[in-house]
Amino acid sequence: MLQEIHNAIDAVYPEMLETRRYLHQYPELSFKEFKTAKYIADFYEKIGIPYQKNVGGNGIVATLKGRKPGKTIALRADFDALPIQDEKDVPYKSKIDGVMHACGHDGHTSTLLYLAKVMKSYQEELPGTIVFLHQHAEEYAPGGAKPMIDAGALKDVDAVFGTHLWATTPLGFIQTAKGVLMAGADRFEIVIQGQGGHGAYPHETKDSIVIGSQIVTQLQQIISRRLDPLETAVITVGIFEAGNAFNIIADTARLIGTVRYLNTEIQDRIIKEMEKIIKGICIANGCNYTFNYEKGYPPVINHDKEAELVMKVSQKLAEVETVEEIIPVMGGEDFAYYLLEKPGAFFFTGAEKEGNRYPHHHPHFDFDERAMPIAAKTLISAYYAYQEE
């Protein structure tokens, strides 16, 4: 039966490809995915699978109940895009100025849609229930996963699985981990209120740029000198805004950045150390500050048994050359929230495209579309294997 399903997935690949390219041309930003959500809902309407729309926002939850008894297992795909200008020279280039599917969510969506279409034809023989989670707003915290969960998307679900098409990993690779797979991802903002003045008279000012620079430098010492070297964490200042003239000392500076961590105890330590450094430097320089720290997505922590199951089933796929258990990556994902609620696992499906080896969130990003059926086969294989657990 499973081999028949895999063959059926191969048969719908041309349609899967067409849908992915259509979605790539019409991306929508997080929390604004109204047309994409309608497209997904219309698809389920057409193939005759019941669905709920506006779940926790723009989310869509479709439910395929098999005629045979079994467990209820959710499979998830996200469908939002990014505020990036598409610079690829391809026929399916984004038609929306300044918006692009630069992370593969169009591929995730198409993969899950056509897996649903295939499984609809096997409903009579299907054990259990498949819940197809189409999630909005993965790219922008607070994200879409938590609101969907709060709206009941995981009600009666026994386990949840998801994948990310991974454009920096070769086609034919499946990667996952038991335990932590991806980092927690937070955001912070620091505003330094100094005292501006003429660039020729620095002694009469409190230079917010110099003070901000001291903070940027000292924050890095949290990682290098205040944390155990065996603990993994990142502090990155990505935005430093100050001043508007070459000969004026700026009175205000604004720093915005991200913290990545694998251990929640380390997260708490970093917050405390950041506050101490910022406060100390500002006191020493006689200026005021505000420090806002926003806790974002927690780490993606796979359940051991489910991660092992993903590795086991993917090894049986002819298209999969390598199955790897990898060390955690420092990117974040709100799939983490599903795993806090239910057993499950997240995994990467290798999708590196020959001649286009750009990373995720890059204006030239693309992926090898042949990864989509591999992702679909791995997901449904995990579904069937979990039925036997």
Residues with catalytic annotation? Answer: 80, 138
Q: Give phi and psi for 225, each to the nearest 5.
A: -130, -10
Residue 101 assigned ligand-binding role: no
In order of 170, 254, 260, the CA distances from 332 in angstroms are: 21, 24, 8
| Cα 104 from Cα 369, distance rounded (Å) | 10
139 is an annotated ligand-binding site residue: yes
164 is in an annotated binding site: yes
Query: What CA–CA distances, in Å, run from 87 to 94, 207, 272?
Result: 9, 39, 41
Task: Name the token pair of 361.
Answer: 């969130």
287 is in an annotated binding site: no
Burial 81-119 (b: 16+ CB within 10 A, else e): bbebebebeeebebeeeebbbbbbbbbbbbbbbbbbbbb
**Residue 144: closest CA among 348, 361, 333:** 333
**What's the CA gap between 63 and 21, in Å, rounded?**
25
Beta bridge partners of 235: 259
Count, residues in the chain: 389
Q: What is the Cα gyration radius of the chain?
A: 23
Q: Are 40 and 23 in contact (CB under 8 A)?
A: no
Q: Which residue has the tokens 């056509």?
A: 114
24 is in an annotated binding site: no
Q: What Å distances lie between residue 73 and 50, 129, 155, 163, CA to CA?
A: 16, 6, 11, 14
- Maximum separation of any 2 CA atoms in the chain, in Å: 82
Q: Distance (Å, rounded) from C-alpha 73 to C-alpha 84?
A: 34
Q: Annotated binding residues for Mn(2+), as ranges? A: 103, 105, 139, 164, 361
Q: Annotated binding residues, as ranges? A: 103, 105, 139, 164, 361
